[in-house]
Amino acid sequence: MESLTTLNNLPRSSQNHTTVLLAAFEGWNDAGGAASEALQYLTRVWDFTEQTGFNDDEYFIYTQQRPLMMSQPDGPAEIHWPELSVSETTLPDQNIRLIVLTGPEPAQRWKTFIDEFYALAQRLDVDTVLFLGALMAETPHTRPFPVEVTSESPLLRQLPLVERTTYTGPTGITGVTALAAPDNLPAASLWVSVPHYVGHPPHPKATLALLRSLETLLGIAIPLRPFEDEMDAWERGAAELLEEESELADYVRQLESIYDAENPTTPSGEDIAAEFEQFLKRREQ
């Protein structure tokens, strides 16, 4: 096998493309809504087709995850039920097929859901599963948001960025489903750290960090300009908050000192080359 640099180098079920299932769940696994927004953004910029998904009644408790009543100016009101949405697209120019699953974290019958999740993956000839999540952390909003990529698959850990899972503690549907991956279907999780003091959605900087990590892992170019513009506006708003809250500003400076001590300030040659390659791919789109 050639050197593993992206998921396109891994064994695939089709000679024409690599099939990757991307999943994100709203709620406990998704601080600031960053992970769900990352995948929903992909469905907006590329032409996705809705696929048959799950029997949602099995997994939601409607007194906990309430349906929404939506009034209509020119017609009767509608009820929007909590649901798990599955859609797919093929990017022939990038040699990849993407399947996206989004929706609220199931409230019950997790073991049944896991079985159905991987049955769906098998039915759709998925080669790799990537879970996206976001967590509150002591991260300064003025620095790049860390994205931790973990996997129990020795194959995926040959890729740049991917490390073995070291977390111990309570977990959500993302954690249990990732660890339940069958041996013949490698899975990894991408977790972005969101500053806990500005954790309310929307969170374009965290979403952008996840999308850039996806670019690196998948070896594709994603149109990111909208999020880059939103991130600039978000950072200006955060800066205004610190101007009004002197104690918070002091706290952020402490976080910055810790971050700078733990992270090198000069990117490696490989990091610069990878970023420049992604820049060129985006310009070609």
Confidence of residue 5 (pLDDT cuts 50, 70, 90): confident
Least confident segment among 38-52, 135-149, 181-195, 261-275: 261-275
194 touches 145 (CB < 8 A): yes
102 close to 24: Cβ distance less than 8 angstroms:
yes
Residues 178-186 have a mean pLDDT of: 94
| Phi and psi, residue 170, nearest 5° | -60, 145
| pLDDT surpasses 90 at 182 | yes
CA distances from 144 to 73, 111, 260, 264, 265 (A): 43, 36, 11, 12, 11
Model confidence over 14-40: pLDDT tens digits? 667 899 999 999 999 999 999 999 999
Q: Cβ of 284: how many Cβ atoms within 10 Å?
A: 7
pLDDT(272) > 80: no
Residue 202 has a pLDDT of 87
Q: How far is CA 284 from the centre of its chain?
A: 24
pLDDT higher than threshold 80 for residue 4: no
Q: Comparing 31-40, 97-106, 189-198, 238-247, which segment has the lowest mean pLDDT?
A: 238-247
Encode pLDDT of 237-254 as tens digits.
888 888 888 898 999 999
- Whether the pLDDT of residue 2 is over 50: the answer is no
What is the pTM assigned to this prediction?
A: 0.87
Q: Cα–Cα distance between 168 and 146 in angstroms, integer?
A: 19
Determine how β-strand 96-104 pairs with β-strand 85-91.
Answer: antiparallel
Rounded mean pLDDT of 35-60? 92
> How does pLDDT run across 77-93, given as a tens digit for each residue?
999 899 999 999 999 78
Rounded to whole angstroms, how far apart are CA atoms 84 and 55?
Answer: 9
Which residue in the block uniquely carries the two structure tokens 């998925």?
126
pLDDT confidence tier of residue 230, bands split at 50, 70 and 90: confident
CATH architecture of 7-284: 3-Layer(aba) Sandwich (3.40)
Predicted local distance difference test score (pLDDT) of residue 279: 46
DSSP secondary structure of the chain: -----SGGGS--S-SS-EEEEEEEEESTTBGGGHHHHHHHHHHHHTT-EEE----GGGT--TTTS--EEEEETTEEEEEE----EEEEEEEGGGTEEEEEEEEEPP-S-HHHHHHHHHHHHHHTT-SEEEEEEEEEES--TTSPPPEEEEES-TTGGGSTTEE-----S---HHHHHHHT--TTS-EEEEEEEEEGGG-PSP-HHHHHHHHHHHHHHHT-----HHHHHHHHHHHHHHHHHHHH-HHHHHHHHHHHHHHHHHS-SS--HHHHHHHHHHHHHHHH-
Q: What are phi and psi of 70, to 5 degrees?
A: -115, 115
Q: What is the pLDDT of residues 153-172, one digit of tens each?
A: 999 998 888 999 888 999 99
User: Residue 139 in contact with residue 145, Cβ under 8 Å?
Assistant: yes
Please give the structure tokens belonging to residue 12. 């695939």
